[in-house]
């Protein structure tokens, strides 16, 4: 009963989810910076090329997967809590998705590969699965993810990832972490055991030439990237399991506490990542000139700015700026923004 009350209490945040959202954002910007600033392709046999390979081994297709999965978890918790409070969770969710779609339409003008519009549309598709049996959601989501991953259909993997998030919400995984510690360790160990051979296999196809070679070289790059998409969910699951395990320790909770604030303002920070990248690109004239390693340095700088801003903002305010606007449209009421002292 105690775990169930945690889900139903609208005032209780599940901190682990905020940590995970913040963690996902750290990886997303490392990939998004590449097309946004038209980062130059690295020359073969250089440090830039080595970073390119590391990026597509450990980052690309790993962090958006976590973010998408968390959307499904949040979807289930949002509707459940709204219904328990006596409000129509479905109507509120539809308003929430409409607002997210509008925010995404604005964002996509600057970032063509943005995810908000996709999430808003997919949110409508997963709505019927809210009342589906949790085992059905788990099995169907897993099988669908494996099949789509095998064919490297990255865009279509959004739906099964969200279904797995719904299943995690139905099983109350994140509310019961302290009680399923051994299961978390087992899950993380299995994902690690699957990730290692997967990464080794992908690395065997790492191309020496990236974008400068023959048609065969381009096909090698595509194969390398496709394998990365296929094994991505397994590596993402390992990342999630490892972070969740670490967060069972109060030491890591304190050390990583800025990450919690970062994830609590996930929508604001996701959009401001794009704004900061464009600001840097225009101010420093980085478009088509910045290298892969330099893009990493830029992302680290943005990390520092956003982490500091998130921590300081949430000392005085209840919600991030964009999250506050999102709530206004969702509930048709203006919630207090400043914290009461």
Question: 317 - beta bridge partners?
Answer: 338
Quote the CA–CA distance of 286 and 281 in Å, as a whole number. 5
Cβ density class 1-11: b for 16+ within 10 Å, e for less: eeeeebbeeee
Alpha helices (runs of H) in 247-291, residue ranges in sequence order: 250-255, 257-264, 266-283
Q: What is the pTM of this model?
A: 0.94
Q: What is the pLDDT along the chain (341 residues), one digit of tens a residue?
A: 334 444 444 557 899 999 999 999 999 999 999 999 999 889 888 999 999 999 999 999 999 999 999 999 999 999 999 999 999 999 999 999 999 999 999 999 999 989 999 999 999 999 999 999 999 999 999 999 999 999 999 999 999 999 999 999 999 999 999 999 999 999 999 999 999 999 999 999 998 777 656 677 788 899 999 999 999 999 999 999 999 999 999 999 999 999 999 999 999 999 999 999 999 999 999 999 999 999 999 999 999 999 999 999 999 999 999 999 999 999 999 999 999 86
């Amino acid at each position: 009963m105690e775990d169930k009350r945690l889900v139903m209490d609208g005032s209780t945040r599940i901190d682990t989810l905020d940590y995970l959202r913040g963690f996902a954002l750290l990886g997303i910007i490392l990939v998004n910076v590449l097309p946004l600033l038209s980062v130059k392709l690295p020359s073969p046999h250089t440090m830039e090329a080595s970073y390119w390979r590391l990026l597509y081994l450990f980052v690309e297709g790993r962090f958006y997967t976590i973010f998408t999965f968390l959307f499904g978890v949040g979807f289930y918790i949002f509707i459940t809590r709204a219904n328990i409070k006596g409000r129509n969770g479905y109507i509120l969710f539809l308003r929430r998705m409409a607002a997210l779609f509008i925010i995404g339409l604005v964002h996509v003008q600057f970032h063509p590969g943005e995810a908000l519009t996709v999430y808003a549309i997919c949110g409508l598709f997963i709505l019927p699965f809210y009342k589906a049996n949790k085992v059905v959601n788990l099995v169907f989501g897993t099988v669908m993810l494996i099949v789509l991953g095998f064919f490297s259909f990255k865009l279509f993997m959004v739906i099964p990832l969200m279904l797995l998030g719904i299943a995690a919400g139905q099983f109350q995984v994140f509310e019961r972490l302290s009680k399923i510690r051994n299961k978390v360790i087992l899950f993380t160990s299995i994902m690690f055991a699957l990730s290692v051979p997967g990464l080794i296999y992908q690395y065997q196809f790492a191309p020496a030439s990236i974008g400068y070679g023959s048609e065969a070289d381009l096909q090698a790059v595509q194969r390398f990237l496709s394998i990365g998409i296929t094994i991505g969910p397994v590596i993402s699951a390992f990342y999630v399991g490892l972070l969740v395990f670490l967060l069972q320790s109060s030491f890591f909770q304190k050390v990583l506490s800025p990450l919690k604030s970062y994830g609590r303002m996930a929508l604001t920070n996701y959009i401001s990542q794009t704004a900061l990248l464009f600001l840097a690109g225009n101010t420093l004239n980085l478009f088509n000139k910045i290298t892969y390693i330099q893009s990493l340095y830029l992302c680290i700088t943005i990390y520092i700015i956003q982490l500091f801003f998130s921590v300081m903002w949430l000392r005085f305010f209840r919600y991030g700026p964009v999250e506050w606007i999102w709530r206004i449209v969702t509930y048709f009421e203006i919630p207090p923004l400043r914290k009461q002292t």
